Amino acid sequence: MPKPTPSEPKTPDPSPTPKILQFKVWLIGLSPVIWRRVQVPDSLTLRQLHGVIQVVMGWEGIHLFQFVLRARRFGSMELAARSPDVALSELRLRQGTRFRYEYDLNGALSH
């Protein structure tokens, strides 16, 4: 009778490759239109996406910000918004989903 051989330890599956999401970011109300296209992994948080937008638009990241998605606000704590530390994958975005990124909201607090 053959002797049973110990089974080899299973190697954990490598973490799945994150999905790449593509966003078109444009400034509303300007002519000519100013826009950028960015591609980011879905593991990025909204806070990190804020940082990406700051870089691609050439801004300094010194103002209040918020994302508005399905009547929920995520952003600067001073705006009483939800934490932007939520991964894009958790937002269940579909192709064509639109949401608003608002930046330089310092004036919003004084009104």
On the question of pLDDT at 7 being above 70, the answer is no
- Mean pLDDT within 50-63: 94
Q: Please, is 67 exposed, middle or buried when counting C-beta atoms within 10 Å of its C-beta (0-12, 13-18, 19+)?
A: buried
d(CA 97, CA 84): 18
Give the CA angle between residues 60, 62, 48 to the nearest 5°.
75
b/e per residue 6-29 (b: at least 16 CB within 10 A): eeeeeeeeeeeeeeebebeeeeee
58 within 8 A of 109, measured Cβ to Cβ: no
Question: Which pTM value belongs to this model?
Answer: 0.79
Residue 20's nearest CA partner among 38, 46, 47 is 38
The rounded mean pLDDT for the chain is 87
**Out of 12-21, 35-44, 82-91, which region has the weakest mean confidence (pLDDT)?**
12-21
Q: What pLDDT, on a 0 to 100 scale, did the predictor assign at position 109?
A: 44
